[in-house]
Structure 1
Amino acid sequence: MAKVKIIEVCKVVPSPASMATTSSSSPNSLPLTCLDLIWLRMQPIQRIFFYEFPNLEDPNRDTTLFFHSDIVPRLKHSLSLTLKHFLPLSGNLIWPESSYKPLILYNEDDEDAVSVTVAETDADFHRLSGTNEFFEATEYHPFIPNLAVSRERAAILAFQVTLFPNFGFSIGMANHHAAIDGKSVHMFLKTWTHICQSQQQEEEYNYSYSPLELKPFFDRTVIVDSKGIDAIIAEQLRELDGGPHNRSLIPWKKEVPSGTVRGTFQVTRENINKLRQLLNVHNNSLLHLSSFCLTFSYILVSLAKAKGLHKDGQKIFFGFAVDARSRFEPPLPGTYLGNCVVGKFAEAYAKDLAGEDGLFLAVKAISDAIRSYETAKETILYGLENLVPVFLKSHEEGKSSHDELYTIASSPKFEPYNTDFGWGRPKKSDVVSIDKTGAISLSDTRNGDGIEVGLVLKKHDMESFAFLFQQGLE
């Protein structure tokens, strides 16, 4: 078992206004909308990035010295400057007795800040940052920070920077899903990398300008909740765990299933084109033959076959999130900071997905779900109050349910492989928290060719999936 030594746990505060040369008007507090509240008791989102040290061919390069004297100070300082643009993310989620729903509060007097852990490890960098080997699902956990959460308050962001001497370093992060969605997280990361890179290029240590296209939009009043859905969801949350006045912010506990391994797969553009050609024979103009739809469908078919899901009446439910910012009237800015996604679900019988027409059936089901979203006459918030009971039922049943549920985490549109702080693009990026949620992660690829897929499965299921996945693309 690899060793991890914690060197430092520190707090990074937003830089003073006099240092951050910005006209940012970040508010100190933000109310949660109904689109945020549904995620209140869900597990934090965790992601990791692995970076190789530049200029490793230099035999005189002391990577440990470089890490502690250059990388860590620059990351901390640029994070401080970035937080000035995203002030609420330095604070905490709280649920005061005087408020019917939780809110995000940054309190400078309470020294609110983002936790940053610095560590060193003797773990195998190349194995963990590679894509050719399966390894235990929990092996990433020592490189992910704890997100401080209690009944009364919950941190929003935390980071851990870990040195792999002579090879590289990792940046692990955790964020509270009730505060921000994936698009908001990656907007924050893009701002941080821009500032960190610019400090080095401009040789200006206090460079803190953020591109206009990354300026966060904070106004939560643009989410018009005329039916008071936020109050309904808040009441549902207070009724949980014995209620009726439960204001706990502690997430529902989820364990990583024993015997699970993590695997990474790639669907290239050529693979996607082949899948598209297979479906062209159906001559169905209603099929949504996007890279996302084809990749998700192919994964579902491969899973149904690999796990032998062919019991009579057994269904596979599959869901994905859709960015709803453009669907509001008027449309919300693309830089709206918070949760603004809606879930769409489809279903099919497992034995049908594993059959000869499985790919067509999966694509058709997902296409129908996408079309129902695009043509819906209901408002974006329609039915949102039903989600907390659904999430609770799913949490309580776990894997005891007769049916299977697969959801998507992240998106290739977030481009995690462009997260370059100035020392090069990541060698590997992965959504760590799928080991608890059971979701399938999708992202761009390091080489820019197609879509990268992350999965956590029982070892024998993963081996079977890998064989069928590759076989079907040949």
Structure 2
Amino acid sequence: MMIEIKPEIVCRQSMKPSTPTPPHLKTFKLSLLDQISPDIHGNMTFFYPSSSTNTSHDFFHKSKLLRHSISKTLSLFYPLAGRLRDTATIDCNDEGAFFVEAKVNIQLCHFLDQPDSDLMDHFLPATDPTTLELSNDAMFLVRFTSFTCGGVAISLSLTHKLADVSALLTLLQTWSSVCRGLTDPITPILIGEKFLAPRDELSAISATVNIAAVKFVQRRFVFSASKIAELKAKVDKEFHHVLQSHPSRVEVVLALLWKCAVATKKQKTGSFGPSVLLQAVNLRKRLSPPLPETAVGNFIWPFMVFACEEKDVELHQAVVQMRKCLDEFNNSKANMFRGEGAASAIMGAIKERGEFFRNNKEMTVYRCSSWCKFPLYDIDFGWGKPLWLVSVNKLVSNTVALADTRSGDGIEALVTLDEEEMALFQQNEQLLKYATLNPSIYA
């Protein structure tokens, strides 16, 4: 059953920090890792069931609480209320975040029964041209939507210049606890250039995202705990033999998705082509000394896993390879981000990666990020925990984003591929043996 959503924007307003940013903090210098991050916005949407019978009064009350708490939260995350001046500088001018209140003409349960990723745009703050224009390059936008049943969606759009998923979690934890009235919320650690100063020679070039004209689609695949256990059992013996340990949930799910994506490519082109999988890792706990989890900024770095021949994407082979590459990264690369030579080591690594891709144009690149183990389902603004959360990717193809299911033991994979490949991928028998394509959130 196709549902038709008619969104209606009720109001739009700019949100200033509750206390002005002091003069000595007016310029915030980003770290080198933020400087090389693309100037794009990431998004996440949380869906909450109705918490009362008087829905319109309830929505008005929640909206007021959200706006009030955004203001207070912005005082703690003051760079987010500013504007980007260049690739490495935020002008903390208190121009503020941007808040949109909207409503849709359907019930939440109808939408969540089979969440259609093509309809997700209706909940995002930055998909509406008027909002974009009025928000005046805001780094943090929120859209609060009410459903006819009283359920709500909170969608935020946040600049990637200052935040990876760990920083987004810190922001959400602080904001939701302020909204619930807690007096001592988590305070972010705004490190910026104190971690690693930005480089002048990079100020002119920002990492741009090459948005191709190819039509691509995002689909959701859910792996239950029992299916993940089956996958693990399939590779455990060989994995343990080589590495004396056991594969993780993320490793087995990702290995299967990669194998099926490579098979799809072969089906489309007629022959196997080499590929590389880039996996983003959280550097905070891997550095020595480690950074606190509440450090705000981009502290992620990808490590690469290669498949030069078809046998490299066999499940056991891919999983072993992933762990070996991760171990190698942890043991030898993670510390290049600290100490005297850090900046030149990073610049060298970026250059090397660029050269590799220029010399290996025939390689298909897949990118993966995992939010598993991040307690995103605990985000409670005062009306309970979310039924579902999702992040929509409209920017780059060949990506996999993994998140825990609400129960915490399954994995939800959001896969983005070009349209033609996705049509084949979502029919892959091996994939469908372990994953369910877009099941109901209530399943």
Would the TM-score normalized by the shorter structure come out above 0.5? yes
CA separation in 2, counterparts of 1:364 and 1:270? Answer: 21
Percent identity, aligned pairs only?
21
CA separation in 1, counterparts of 2:370 and 2:323? Answer: 19
CA separation in 2, counterparts of 1:389 and 1:372? Answer: 17
Matched position secondary structure for 2:76 = coil
Q: How does 1:47-86 map to 2 (within 5 A)?
A: 47-55=44-52, 61-68=53-60, 70-86=61-77
CA separation in 1, counterparts of 2:17 and 2:245? Answer: 48
Change (3 A) 1:79 1:224: closer
Matched position secondary structure for 2:202 = helix
Matched position secondary structure for 1:3 = coil
Matched position secondary structure for 2:427 = helix
Q: 1:379 corresponds to which residue? A: 336
Please give the per-residue CA displacement for 1:44-103, whole angstroms capped at 9, x wherever unaligned: 211111111124xxxxx23233212x11111111111222221111111112xxxxx531
Q: 2:34 corresponds to which residue? A: 36
Shift of 1:434: 5.4
Q: 1:448 corresponds to which residue? A: 408
CA separation in 2, counterparts of 1:473 and 1:372? Answer: 30
Q: 2:426 corresponds to which residue? A: 463
Which 10-residue stretch deviates more, 79-88 or 179-188?
A: 79-88
Q: 1:346 corresponds to which residue? A: 305
Matched position secondary structure for 1:116 = strand
Verify the 8 A CA contact 2:222 2:435 in the aligned structure 1.
Answer: no
CA separation in 2, counterparts of 1:404 and 1:48? Answer: 30
Q: Does 1:104 align with 2:120?
A: no
Shift of 1:353: 5.4
Q: 1:423 corresponds to which residue? A: 383
Q: 2:100 corresponds to which residue? A: 117
Verify the 8 A CA contact 1:222 1:332 in the aligned structure 2.
Answer: no
Verify the 8 A CA contact 1:232 1:385 in the aligned structure 2.
Answer: no
CA separation in 1, counterparts of 2:227 and 2:347? Answer: 36
CA separation in 1, counterparts of 2:214 and 2:299? Answer: 30
Q: 1:254 corresponds to which residue? A: 211
Verify the 8 A CA contact 2:273 2:363 in the aligned structure 1.
Answer: yes
Change (3 A) 1:144 1:106: same
Shift of 1:318: 0.9
2:45 partner letter: I
CA separation in 2, counterparts of 1:344 and 1:93? Answer: 29
Of residues 312, 321, 324, the one that matches 2:280 is: 321
CA separation in 2, counterparts of 1:434 and 1:352? Answer: 32
Q: Does 1:336 align with 2:295?
A: yes
2:123 partner letter: F
Shift of 1:287: 6.3
Please give the per-residue CA displacement for 1:314-337, whole angstroms capped at 9, x wherever unaligned: 112111111112343432222211
What is the Cα-based RMSD across aligned positions, in Å? Answer: 3.5
Q: Does 1:209 align with 2:207?
A: no
Change (3 A) 1:26 1:285: farther
Verify the 8 A CA contact 1:261 1:456 in the aligned structure 2.
Answer: yes
Q: 1:230 corresponds to which residue? A: 199
Verify the 8 A CA contact 1:94 1:154 in the aligned structure 2.
Answer: no
Please give the per-residue CA displacement for 1:388-409, whole angstroms capped at 9, x wherever unaligned: 8967998x9xxxx643222123
Count of paired positions: 415
Shift of 1:124: 5.8
Q: 1:196 corresponds to which residue? A: 179
CA separation in 2, counterparts of 1:296 and 1:86? Answer: 34
Please give the per-residue CA displacement for 1:186-208, whole angstroms capped at 9, x wherever unaligned: 100011111222x3xxxxxxx54
Shift of 1:157: 0.8
Matched position secondary structure for 1:424 = coil
How high is the TM-score relative to the length of structure 2?
0.82
Q: Does 1:305 align with 2:305?
A: no
Verify the 8 A CA contact 1:287 1:367 in the aligned structure 2.
Answer: no
Which 10-residue stretch deviates more, 180-189 or 321-330?
A: 321-330
CA separation in 2, counterparts of 1:437 and 1:286? Answer: 35
Change (3 A) 1:138 1:350: farther
Shift of 1:437: 4.5
Consecutive unaligned residues in structure 2, runs of 5 or more = 437-443
